[in-house]
Amino acid sequence: MTVYRSPYPVPGVIWASLPAPAFLIDGAGRFAAINPAAETFLNVSSKSLSGVPAFDRLHIDAPMDEALARARANQSPLFINDVDVTTGERPPVQCNIQIAPMHDNPEIVLLLISPREIADRLGRSMHVTSAAKSAIGMAEMLAHEIKNPLAGITGAAQLLSMGLGAEDRELTDLIVEETRRIVKLLEQVEQFGNLRPPDRRPVNIHDALDRARKSALVGFAANMTIVEDYDPSLPATYADPDQLMQVFLNLIKNASEAAGRSGGGTIRLHSFYDLSLRIRHRDGPGKALPLQVEVIDDGPGIPAAIANDIFEPFVSGRENGTGLGLALVSKIIADHGGWIAVDSIPGRTVFRVSLPVASKEQVHAAKQESR
Ligand SMILES: Nc1ncnc2c1ncn2[C@@H]1O[C@H](COP(=O)(O)OP(=O)(O)OP(=O)(O)O)[C@@H](O)[C@H]1O
Ligand SMILES: [Mg+2]
């Protein structure tokens, strides 16, 4: 029998090339080895981790000790899907987890983490890409150029209608109405490009939520039930009050449009505190984003075909949608150093906005100013 000898030390190469974070965990629950993808995932070197209790660094929202014990006892692999994994450095990532006992050492367990697709689209959502920026620039220019002739068309149609009978006037009315619709759409495009930098001050999140809720209930959300589930003790965030209200309004509008299609639905506005959420910016240390607001609806969920791109401008799953609502939300949240995440299955869609707390100095400065 000839044994094929690989020119490479295969196991080591495979370990290093695995694109997903992989960990070996010993019988006492400590890291025995972590691969380069796992180093990136945890943002530390493997050396500094060996011997460290695994679940001190890797917060997995599942009974992991029990799962590892089961994999060891049964000597068979185990899968856990859709759990939140937090590494202390950034917001939780939804992952699928695979656990397998090693064949040559039943005490050691291999743990593989695959961040779910939805998680990576959140990462991408945070910045409006440069392609999107030039698309917005062109759309703005077109919007401006198209508005002028449209005014002429509306005017001409109105003049024409004066000499017409009722039946033909229906047609000129149609021209006027449809042109108005286009003008409105173009104005939205222009507004998107013109968003001013945020004028930030300490803001009570619930005030912004309340303004959005009231405005929604007298308009597009009139047939919806909006449930408030607030933690009234939340401290102020540091934001532009109008832009913050715009964010919540857009999220409530989307929820109403999705959930209200069959004549009504329920939107839950949920605020709470979660100190474990941190975001790491390219420049500077991690920043805590402990204020959480979730807009939850019981609609059909985000259409799979566009799920990866909903935060991009001009992506819409609705017949008359411009696809600018979420692009605007994402831009505002990014300008505020915050974070937005979505999780959607039929019957339950959750948009979660995470924001920083206003510092003592910011609150103090605002008080001085208002004197
Ligand atoms: N809560 C939700 N449930 C289901 N689908 C959603 C939800 N929120 C957003 N979507 C989907 O994402 C798409 C993009 O949303 P976005 O707000 O960016 O644009 P739009 O609502 O289509 O248009 P606009 O907000 O500019 O009027 C929507 O068209 C819809 O298909
Ligand atoms: Mg919208």
In tens, the pLDDT along 270-319 reads 999 988 776 655 555 567 889 999 999 999 999 999 988 899 888 999 88
Task: Give Cα separations from 312 to 83, 121, 297, 316, 326 (angstroms).
Answer: 26, 11, 21, 9, 7
* Tokens encoding 354: 């995470």
Q: Where are the beta strands (DSSP E) in 260-347?
A: 266-273, 278-280, 286-288, 291-297, 339-345
- Closest protein CA for atom 10 of ligand 1: 302
* Binding site membership of 256 for ligand 1 (Cβ less than 6 Å): no
Each residue of 83-97: pLDDT tens digit? Answer: 888 886 667 777 888
Give residues with Cβ within 8 angstroms of 298, minimum separation 6: 259, 265, 266, 347, 348
H-assigned helices in the chain:
10-17, 36-42, 54-57, 64-74, 117-125, 130-162, 166-193, 205-217, 241-259, 325-335, 360-369
**317 Cβ below 6 A of ligand 1:** yes
pLDDT (tens digit per residue) in 30-63: 998 889 888 888 888 878 888 889 988 888 887 8
What does the pLDDT look like over 270-283, one tens digit per residue? 999 988 776 655 55
Distance, in Å, from the CA atom of 292 to the CA atom of 311, rounded to the nearest integer, reads 19
Tell me the C-alpha distance between 140 and 134, whole Å. Answer: 10
pTM of the shown model: 0.63
Q: Which ligand is nearest to the CA of 318?
A: 1
